[in-house]
């Protein structure tokens, strides 16, 4: 993975003057380990698979936007982030947390994990999965699109689950996007730039963005000033 930066211009108005700050998403090379998966992680993934299989049989049609990521590589990526002390802190947030698997994996690795999901049924399943595996993860039902980010969503007019409005997913957590040290997301094709923009606009400087991009694998970026 070649290190590169995505430039993002952030403007703020102060005392009738415009301050322009150039933000970059700097890509970090991440080597995934190949050690055996721990027993507690394997048990969580088995329970998650059973849950997802049942959801597909019973009501997948009612949640067409739900497609689970490949959880084992995501676990290995989070493990590498921890081993390399790459995160500035322990707070982890999953944008679009589905049935909560990645958030639970983060907690098993020692992070303070939370997820925001717009589908109430998936939030219920995430809480059930965490409880069954005795994992202290927190899940909020609502939108992970921060209030005030609506103008940037013209890039994703057809992505309904990215739309703002409805419940603010951050309010139940009593945290803001810039309170988190790592944010994970699984963008659909065509959704990637929206996620990058939301992160560049709202995350703290120094925070990490881990994205799962399907066949393109995982991508890790840090928000930095230039």
Average pLDDT over residues 102-107: 98
Instruction: State the virtual CA torsion across 115, 142, 160, 23 in degrees, nearest 10.
Output: -60
CATH of the domain at 108: 3.40.50.150
Phi, psi of 203 (to 5 degrees): -75, 165
Specify the pLDDT at position 126.
97
What is the per-residue pLDDT across 13-43, written as a single tens digit (0 to 9) for each?
A: 333 333 334 568 999 998 888 889 999 999 9
Range from 79-83, 132-136, 154-158, 168-172 carrying the lowest mean pLDDT: 154-158
Split into its structural domains, the chain has a count of 1
Q: Is residue 10 part of a domain?
A: no
Q: Is residue 110 part of a domain?
A: yes
Tokens 């963005």 appear where?
209
Helical residues (DSSP H) of the chain, grouped into ranges: 39-58, 71-83, 101-108, 120-132, 192-202
Tokens 């990521």 appear where?
69
Q: Is residue 13 part of a domain?
A: no
Where does the pLDDT of residue 67 fall: very low under 50, low under 70, confident under 90, or very high at 90 and above?
A: low
Q: Is residue 9 part of a domain?
A: no
Owning domain of residue 206: 27-225
Where does the pLDDT of residue 64 fall: very low under 50, low under 70, confident under 90, or very high at 90 and above?
A: low
What is the per-residue pLDDT across 165-206, written as a single tens digit (0 to 9) for each?
A: 568 999 999 999 999 999 999 987 778 888 999 999 999 999
């Amino acid at each position: 993975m070649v290190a590169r930066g995505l430039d993002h211009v952030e403007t703020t108005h102060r005392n009738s003057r415009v301050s322009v700050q150039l933000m970059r998403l700097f890509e970090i090379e991440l080597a995934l380990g190949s050690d055996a998966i721990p027993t507690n992680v394997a048990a969580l993934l088995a329970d998650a698979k059973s849950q997802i299989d049942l959801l597909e049989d019973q009501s997948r049609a009612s949640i067409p936007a739900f497609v689970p990521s490949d959880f084992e590589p995501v676990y290995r990526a989070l493990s590498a982030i921890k081993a390399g002390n790459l995160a500035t802190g322990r707070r982890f947030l999953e944008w679009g947390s589905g049935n909560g698997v990645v958030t639970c994996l983060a907690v098993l690795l020692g992070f303070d994990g939370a997820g925001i999901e717009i589908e109430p049924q998936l939030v219920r399943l995430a809480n059930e999965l965490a409880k069954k595996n005795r994992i202290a993860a927190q899940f909020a039902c609502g939108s992970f699109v921060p209030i005030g980010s609506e103008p940037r969503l013209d890039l994703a007019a057809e992505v309904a689950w990215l739309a703002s409005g409805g419940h603010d997913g951050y309010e139940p957590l009593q945290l803001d996007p810039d309170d988190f040290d790592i944010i994970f997301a699984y963008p659909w094709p065509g959704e990637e730039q929206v996620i990058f923009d939301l992160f560049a606009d709202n995350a703290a400087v120094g925070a990490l963005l881990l994205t799962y991009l399907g066949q393109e694998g995982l991508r890790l970026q840090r928000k930095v000033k230039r």
